[in-house]
């Protein structure tokens, strides 16, 4: 453990890594076919911020999230997340780095043959929590997301909104410093979308940095958070307490 901490300190190479929980400098990413997905992205996010990423389909939002997860790698530029230099990170360091992140997707990605409790406990087992801790932590996070009474249900017995709450509980149970959500309300009706977004706000108020990709104009306008808008792989606006910008 001490060794791991020492290694992590060694990776904190510059002042930015201390000040910003997420920092991208002059980042360019194009896929194998040569299509540029992100061009000269500069973006800094401080610990505890709530940030929306908006923009048309194909504007590079998911690519940005995947860069932060180190699921895809940059062609050039620097990416720092939670004190880790993702450009120079070795493959074997990726799992330890990802323990700092909670991740939620549009399509929930639950284990269909396991119940709610087991879906959330699974995340704790990966990080080798004891059964005793799991029995304490899983009910606690399920009650945070409003699912205390549903722990035995299988995903198909739940509504979309409930399934996304399970995914959220699973993302949060290991207490990540950053929550990344790629269109978390994309499959939900307006009422459930609202509830999920306000849950994300509550999680943020408890100290977690939250980055949410969304198309949900009403919610973006209502919540008055920082809004970064991408267009064709370029940041075209970055506003505190912003609104949803029309692309056309």
- Residue ranges binding Mg ion (CB under 5 A): 61-62
For the window 23-62, what string marks contact with ligand ADP as x by the rule CB under 6 A? --------x-x-x-x-----------------x-xxxxxx
DSSP 10-55: HH--SHHHHH-SEEEEEEEEE-TT--EEEEEEEEEE-TT-EEEEE-
CB of 127 to ligand ADP, least distance (A): 28
> ∠ at Cα 69 (125, 80), nearest 5°?
120
Interaction of residue 102 with ligand ADP, rule CB under 6 A: no
* Sole residue written with tokens 């104009």: 217
What is the CA 130 to chain-centroid distance, rounded?
A: 25
Q: How far is the CB of 213 from Mg ion (least distance, A)?
A: 6
Produce one character per residue of 195-205: b if its CB has 16 or more CB atoms within 10 Å, e if not.
bbbebbeebbe
Which CB sits closer to ligand ADP, 120 or 212?
Answer: 212
Least distance (Å) between residue 68 CB and ligand ADP: 12
Instruction: Identify which of 222, 198, 235, 69 has the alpha carbon closest to the alpha carbon of residue 244.
Output: 222
Q: Name which of Mg ion, ligand ADP, none residue 58 binds, using a CB cut-off of 5 to 8 Å depending on partner kind.
A: ligand ADP
Nearer to ligand ADP, 17 or 22 (CB): 22
Instruction: Give me the residues that bind ligand ADP (CB under 6 A), please.
Output: 31, 33, 35, 37, 55, 57-63
């Amino acid at each position: 453990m001490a060794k791991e901490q020492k290694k992590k300190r060694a990776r904190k190479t510059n002042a930015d890594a201390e000040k910003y929980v997420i920092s991208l400098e002059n980042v360019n990413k194009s896929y194998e076919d040569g299509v540029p997905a992100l061009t000269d992205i500069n973006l800094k996010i401080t610990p505890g911020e709530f940030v929306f990423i908006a923009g048309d389909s194909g504007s590079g939002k998911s690519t940005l999230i995947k860069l932060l997860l180190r699921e895809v790698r940059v062609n050039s530029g620097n990416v720092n997340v939670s004190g880790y230099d993702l450009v120079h990170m070795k493959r074997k360091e990726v799992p330890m780095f990802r323990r700092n992140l909670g991740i939620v997707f549009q399509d929930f990605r639950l284990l269909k043959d396991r119940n709610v409790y087991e879906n959330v406990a699974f995340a704790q087992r990966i990080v080798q929590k004891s059964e005793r801790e799991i029995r304490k932590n899983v009910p606690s996070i399920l009650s945070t997301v409003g699912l205390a009474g549903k722990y035995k249900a299988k995903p198909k017995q739940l509504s979309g909104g409930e399934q996304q709450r399970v995914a959220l509980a699973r993302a949060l149970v290991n207490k990540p410093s950053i929550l990344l959500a790629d269109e978390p309300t994309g499959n939900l009706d307006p009422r459930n979308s609202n509830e999920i977004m306000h849950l994300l706000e509550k999680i943020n108020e408890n100290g977690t940095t939250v980055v949410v990709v969304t198309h949900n104009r009403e919610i973006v306008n209502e919540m008055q958070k920082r809004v970064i808008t991408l267009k064709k792989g370029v940041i075209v606006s970055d506003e505190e307490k912003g609104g949803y910008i029309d692309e056309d």
